[in-house]
Amino acid sequence: MLGMGRRTVALAASAVVLVVLLLSHTFGRAEPTGDYRPDLPADALATGCFPLPGDTRLTFGYQVRHDGDVEVDGELRRRLVAQYDELDDTEALAAIVADFEDAGFVASQRPAPYDAVLRAPGSGRGEVVRVMVEALPDTDDDTLVRGTFELDLPVVKAAKDDAVCSDPKATKRWPQDYDAESDAHDRAR
């Protein structure tokens, strides 16, 4: 009798487990949306918050890494550091110069020690743009990011009063004490 009761309980438990397994696909499953990537902040130059002089638009692939105001030779200047994609350093420099020329800037014939110096026609010292381009070592045709460029620009205030314009992740205008590596680590936890 005792053996028969255990067998009945075992069969009943097996039946319950089998029913749960057969119906489990209907319990507590999220609907697949196909959207598995987090929202990325807008391109730092496309937000309109801190535009380039003359409303210059860069026409090649790039990522802004840092944008902020620094003192250069006793003068407050804007320093924008970015990386360029799929171009060599000569092509990247030519593209940057062409984009500023399209906005009305004129390239200097003597840019040293910079790779290029551009001036807005009829402007004083404040409308000078200085460019430095550096290729990353060991890149090939399959490498997306091929180098870094730095723009020394006139200082600009936020062009609009918008929440995006005060978000360092969107503008790349990091506070002095900001530790991007620590922030990335905190977000990963």
Domains of the chain by residue range: 53-156
Q: Which of the pair, 48 or 126, is modelled with greater confidence?
A: 48
Q: Who has greater pLDDT, 83 or 7?
A: 83
Q: Is pLDDT above 90 for 171?
A: yes
Amino acid letter at 67? D
Taking the CA atoms of the chain, what radius of gyration do you get in angstroms? 28
Adjacent-strand bridge partners of 150: 81, 132
Measured CA to CA in angstroms, residue 32 lies from 28, 29, 36, 188 at distances of 12, 9, 9, 23
Structure tokens at 35: 């959207």
Mean pLDDT of the chain: 86
Give how far the C-alpha of residue 10 lies from the chain's centroid of Cα atoms, to the nearest Å. 59
pTM above 0.75, yes or no: no
Cis peptide before 113 (omega within 30 of 0): yes
pLDDT at residue 8 is higher than 80:
yes
- CATH class for domain 53-156? alpha beta
